[in-house]
Amino acid sequence: MKTASVSNIRINTIKIKPFKDQKPGTSGLRKTVKQFQVLDYLQAFIQSIFNSQAELEGATLILGGDGRYFNREAVQIILRMATANGVGKIILGQAGILSTPAASHLITKYEALGGIILSASHNAGGPLGDFGVKFDTANGGPAPESLTDEIFIISSNLREYKIIDISPVPMDKIGQYKLGNMVIEVIDAVEDYSKLMSEIFNFDKISRLLTSSDFSMCFDAMHAVTGPYATSILEDQLGARQGSVIRGRPLPNFGGAHPDPNLVHAEQLVETMYREEGAPNFGAASDGDGDRNMIMGDYFFVTPSDSLAIMTANAHLIPAYSKGLKGVARSMPTSEAVDKVAEKMGLNCFETPTGWKFFSNLLDADQITLCGEESFGTGSSHVNEKDGLWAVLFWLNILAERQDSVEHIVRQHWAEYGRNYYTRHDYEKLPFKSAESLFNNLHDNINQLSQKPFNQHTIATADSFTYIDPIDNSISENQGVRIIFDDSSRIIFRLSGTGTEGATLRVYIEKYVTDLAQFELDTQDALKSLIQTAESIADIKGYTGRTEPTVIT
């Protein structure tokens, strides 16, 4: 260990052996808490981020996380390393808490070099759960692949990191502190974000809806980061009844549950919304770091793909988007529901690989205003990350304007644009070898699949999705195997880039219908023969031994 000093604070240079496994996935580096607690592991990744930034000296960074187990310890380490590495200022969410969209907003608002967000999103927390680190760049968006690749190369060769040995560093009380030459500004995590929301939406109209006697809502914060944001905005500012926000207190282990807003994990919300009598008119949930959303009506679930399409079709009702949209985008596995709306509205609709980072260039170049993914993420040009609470407010604003129910709005949408039945089947914790063999087989057979009949379906095209970014022409290959049938139904296979245990195979299945008589089917029934086709094309049972998925959404 070498030492130096700055303003009488000693800087230690700690020698380490390089870690070879710090490759960021779909959204930052996600590992188990236990892995992050390995001596020098977190420090090595943070130093790699710092080393990738030529302009770090004297720069401002935003820092915060979703409050999960190890969040506070990680904040302490990062503050001590930032000082040692010459960072000029850190703007820190009080108690180390910031939602992902709020952090993204702060980066651009305060013209920071970037931000470090501590979260493993919807993955479980606690000592036996997951932890994660994401780096957002100056545009408030996730680091692009070129940068995450560079960070990975740096980390694979990193032999030392710098840190000061003062602790604890202030993080709980709002105010400015000096640590060596670095300023730490601890700010209210909610204030700036809530001001931004009030500039986008019609708060007066939403407030009238939320305070009317015949309207009630339930927002499930899943004991994760959106609790304080939702309580402040929905209850305190907009007047939703007290108790409308459930599981609102962020807990380090999310109360022992998965902070994943879907029909499986938002159990309490789903029970409330599917009550035979007296269910609220509107239900919603957000995830660990506040960037995902699930939307429900009384006895009704809105698929994320439909939600994006409906938001697009109704964007003119929202003050910030009333002058029109530049264009829209969806990730490739997301259903084509939004394409139908874009076509009718004369908008460009871009198809990107999975991962929010792929929307960034389009947003920066003003090519799109709204974008979204099947994985419960929707966002707009207001920040460069997906935004859970923003989507909830968007829906509330639509409801306030249309004075209609969620279910009726969705049904009217289907009647006008047709219905895209959609499901995702996940096979989790597969041995890497089985998943690899399954994909090798799919790739080997791809060329022979075209024009082949399966059950009642004929394959029109089959390929491995390659994305050429229309803005910088960067190429991303192998973004999923895509099988498109002659009736435009689709089956997509890809491996998740966010899991921490084994491989997760995701199978996305979609069918488009326009016949009103076919709108009332159960989704799994409507897609039954395509599901069987998917299982047989990939020989899922043969390669994995699994006869059914672990999770269906």
Size (the chain), residues: 553
Which is closer to ligand G16, CB of 88 or CB of 497? Answer: 497
Residue 495 CB, shortest distance to ligand G16, in Å, is 8
**Nearest residue (CB) to ligand G16, 96 versus 379:** 379
- Binding residues for ligand G16, per CB under 6 A? 26-27, 121-122, 287, 291-292, 354-356, 373, 375, 377, 496-498, 506
Closest C-alpha among 288, 303, 298, 314 to residue 376: 303
For the bound state, the minimum distance from the C-beta of residue 494 to ligand G16, rounded and expressed in Å, comes to 7
In the complex, the smallest distance separating the C-beta of residue 81 from ligand G16, rounded to whole angstroms, is 24
Query: What is the 3-class SS of 94-125, one letter each residue?
Result: EEEECCHHHHHHHHHHCCCCEEEEECCCCCCC
Q: Is the CB of residue 467 less than 8 Å from the CB of residue 479?
A: yes
Q: Where are the alpha helices (DSSP H) in 129-173?
A: 145-157
Which residues are CB-neighbours of 119 under 8 A, at least 6 positions away?
28, 65, 66, 68, 100, 132, 134, 225, 288, 289
Please, are residues 374 and 337 in contact by the beta-carbon 8 Å criterion?
no
CB of 299 to ligand G16, least distance (A): 27
> Judged by CB, which is closer to ligand G16: 340, or 424?
424
Task: Give the separation between CA 238 and CA 233, rounded to whole angstroms.
Answer: 6
Active site residue 121: yes
- What is the nearest approach in angstroms of ligand G16 to the Cβ of residue 407? 26
In the bound state with ligand G16, the residue whose beta carbon lies nearer, of 356 and 465, is: 356
Nearest to 13 by CA among 42, 57, 47: 47
- Other Cβ atoms within 10 Å of 172 Cβ, number: 12
Q: CA-CA distance, 121 to 289, in Å (whole number)? A: 5
- Which of 27, 48, 119, 121 is flagged as catalytic? 121
For the CB of residue 409, give the shortest distance to ligand G16 in the complex, in Å: 25
Q: Which residues of 99-109 are buried (b: 16+ CB within 10 A; e: fewer)?
A: bbbbbbbbbbb
Q: Find out whether 269 and 221 touch, Cβ atoms under 8 Å.
A: no
Which CB atom, from 220 or from 291, has the smaller least distance to ligand G16?
291
Q: How far is CA 23 from CA 115, 135, 151, 505, in A?
A: 18, 13, 8, 19
Name the residue type at position 342: A
Question: Min. distance of Cβ 376 from ligand G16 in angstroms?
Answer: 8
Residue nearer to ligand G16 on the CB measure, 226 or 354: 354
Of 291 and 339, which has the nearer Cβ to ligand G16? 291
Cβ 315 vs Cβ 325: under 8 Å = yes
Q: Which residues are known catalytic residues?
A: 121
